C-alpha cells in the first residue's frame, strides 16, 4: 500500500511539472481550432474554418479572408484550390486563387458532381475525388 501511495504521489508530481513547461499564448488565430486542418506553402499557413480562410505568415499574427471555404482544399506554391457548396443554391463551386488568397476565380463544377472529396492539382490538371471515400476520380483542367 505504501508503494502505491508513493507511486501515485510521484505521478501527480510528474504530471504537474510536465504541464508547467508549456507557455500557451493566444495568437489571434481561428477560435476553437483544435480540430482544424492546416495547409501551408512557403509563405503562409492557411486554416479554413467557419466560412473564413485564416492566413498567417508567422503563426503569431492571423488575418482572415472573408471567403466561404470548406476543408476540401489544396495549396501549392501561391495557388489555393477550394470546393464549396453554396448554401442558397446547393450547387458546388470550384474556387481558385493564384495569389495566396488575395483574389479568387469561381467556376461551376461539371454536371454530374453531386458530392466531392479530396482535391489535388498537378502540372496536367486538377483532380477531384467523387465523394470522401471514392475510388473513382474525375479529372478536369481549369481554363482561364
Asked if residues 51 and 78 have their Cβ atoms less than 8 Å apart, the reply is no
Q: What is the pLDDT at residue 87?
A: 79
Tell me the CA distances in angstroms from 125 to 103, 118, 119, 143, one per residue in order. Answer: 21, 14, 11, 10
Q: Domain coordinates of the chain in residue numbers?
A: 36-140
Half-sphere exposure of 3 (CA within 13 A, CB side): 0
Tell me the CA distances in angstroms from 70 to 22, 62, 108, one per residue in order. Answer: 31, 18, 15
d(CA 7, CA 113): 59
> Is pLDDT at 62 greater than 80 in this prediction?
yes
**pLDDT-wise least confident of 44-48, 89-93, 98-102:** 89-93
Q: What is the pLDDT at residue 74?
A: 86
* 122 alpha carbon, distance to own chain's centre: 19
Q: Give every CB contact of residue 34 below 8 A, 6+ residues apart in sequence.
A: none
**pLDDT-wise least confident of 23-27, 66-70, 79-83, 112-116:** 23-27
Average pLDDT score over residue span 70-84: 85
Average pLDDT, the chain: 74
Amino acid at each position: 500500500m505504501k508503494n502505491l501511495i508513493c507511486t501515485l504521489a510521484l505521478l501527480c508530481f510528474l504530471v504537474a511539472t510536465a504541464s508547467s513547461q508549456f507557455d500557451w499564448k493566444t495568437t489571434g488565430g481561428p477560435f476553437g481550432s483544435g480540430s482544424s486542418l492546416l495547409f501551408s506553402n512557403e509563405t503562409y499557413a492557411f486554416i479554413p474554418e467557419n466560412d473564413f480562410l485564416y492566413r498567417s505568415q508567422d503563426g503569431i499574427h492571423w488575418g482572415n479572408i472573408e471567403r466561404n471555404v470548406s476543408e476540401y482544399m489544396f495549396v501549392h506554391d501561391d495557388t489555393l484550390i477550394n470546393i464549396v457548396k453554396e448554401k442558397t443554391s446547393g450547387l458546388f463551386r470550384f474556387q481558385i486563387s493564384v495569389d495566396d488568397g488575395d483574389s479568387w476565380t469561381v467556376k461551376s463544377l461539371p454536371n454530374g458532381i453531386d458530392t466531392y472529396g479530396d482535391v489535388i492539382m498537378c502540372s496536367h490538371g486538377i483532380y477531384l475525388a467523387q465523394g470522401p471515400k471514392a475510388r473513382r476520380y474525375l479529372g478536369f483542367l481549369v481554363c482561364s
